[in-house]
Structure 1
Amino acid sequence: MIFENSAYYDREQFFKLEKPYGTFYFGEKYILSEMHEGVHFDWPMVKDLLNDIEAYYENETKLAYISNRIHSYSRDPHNWQKLSALNFIVASAIVIYNDMAYLNATLEKRFSKESIKRCQCLNEAIEWVLDLKEFN
């Protein structure tokens, strides 16, 4: 399910950021991504996105990251280690829609120091993030 079609989209205000490689929604407690089909989300793209995150949030905010994998794309699992060093993402959720996405998420989970939850639907991912102890 596309985030804008979900009930959560209207519950709070989100800043929608469209990049050549995907669409990102910046909320109070989480950032949600929907990457474009066939993209290889490499470190220069991650750094580009991080610049936008820092400009938007301005202070030391703790956030969760939700990857809504509605399209097939690739990423370097080692990027999770680089992101861990930045220390602003408290946990991540990956919404998977097929077996290949599940296998990729399992691999990425091995590279991350933070908690990564594999979710079967967008609602599950958002509810899990909103229930994190860091936000309650």
Structure 2
Amino acid sequence: MNFEKSNYFKLLNHKKLALSFGDFYLMDRFIISELHEGIHFDWDKIQVLAAELIRHYGYGLKIGYISNRINPYSLDPHLWTQFNQEFGFIIASAAVVYDDISYMNATLEKQFTSNSLKRCSSLEEAIYWMQNIEEFKI
């Protein structure tokens, strides 16, 4: 389910960031990404997104990341390691998967991150998990 069509769209205070490769919804403690169909989420796009997030949240940010995989796209899972070394501001991630292929991709990505990465079957599950993770209680 697209975030804008969910009940949470009206319930959660957010700012929409529309980039050429996807839409990102910025909440206080986490973001929801919805990448466009068929894009390759490469290092250049990650750097663009990271710069926008730093501009919005400021330096020293610590946020969660929900990947709402409503569209198929590709990503090199090794980029998780590179991202954590370069930026390191995502403290936990949730992948909302809608089919078996997305689930397998999220399982592979889980092997390349040192942070919590939860695979969820709905956007509601991911948002609930993100609002209650231990990493924010520290």
Aligned residues: 136
CA distance in structure 2 between the aligned counterparts of 1:104 and 1:73, rounded to whole angstroms: 10
Structure 2 residue identity aligned to 1:134 = E
Deviation at 1:79? 1.0
Deviation at 1:59? 3.3
CA distance in structure 2 between the aligned counterparts of 1:134 and 1:8, rounded to whole angstroms: 22
Deviation at 1:5? 1.2
SS of equivalent to 2:114: coil
CA distance in structure 1 between the aligned counterparts of 2:52 and 2:62, rounded to whole angstroms: 15
Deviation at 1:9? 1.5
- Partners of 1:32 and 1:67 within 8 A in 2: yes
Q: Which residue is equivalent to 1:90?
A: 91
SS of equivalent to 2:102: helix
Q: Which residue is equivalent to 1:5?
A: 5
- Partners of 2:92 and 2:135 within 8 A in 1: no
CA distance in structure 1 between the aligned counterparts of 2:48 and 2:59, rounded to whole angstroms: 18
Q: Which residue is equivalent to 1:116?
A: 117
Deviation at 1:109? 0.4
- Partners of 2:54 and 2:61 within 8 A in 1: no
Q: Which residue is equivalent to 1:129?
A: 130
Deviation at 1:12? 2.6
Structure 2 residue identity aligned to 1:47 = Q
Structure 2 residue identity aligned to 1:31 = I
Deviation at 1:92? 0.2
SS of equivalent to 2:111: helix
Structure 2 residue identity aligned to 1:45 = K
Q: Which residue is equivalent to 1:57?
A: 57
- Partners of 1:84 and 1:114 within 8 A in 2: no
Taking structure 2 as the reference length, what is the TM-score of the superposition?
Answer: 0.94
CA distance in structure 1 between the aligned counterparts of 2:59 and 2:72, rounded to whole angstroms: 33
CA distance in structure 2 between the aligned counterparts of 1:32 and 1:60, rounded to whole angstroms: 19
Q: Which blocks of at least 5 consecutive residues in structure 2 are unaligned?
A: none
- Partners of 1:63 and 1:90 within 8 A in 2: yes
SS of equivalent to 1:28: coil
Report % sequence identity.
46
Q: Which residue is equivalent to 1:27?
A: 27
Structure 1 residue identity aligned to 2:125 = E
Deviation at 1:87? 2.2
CA-based RMSD of the aligned residues comes to 1.0
Deviations 1:97-117 (A, max 9, x none): 001001100110001111100
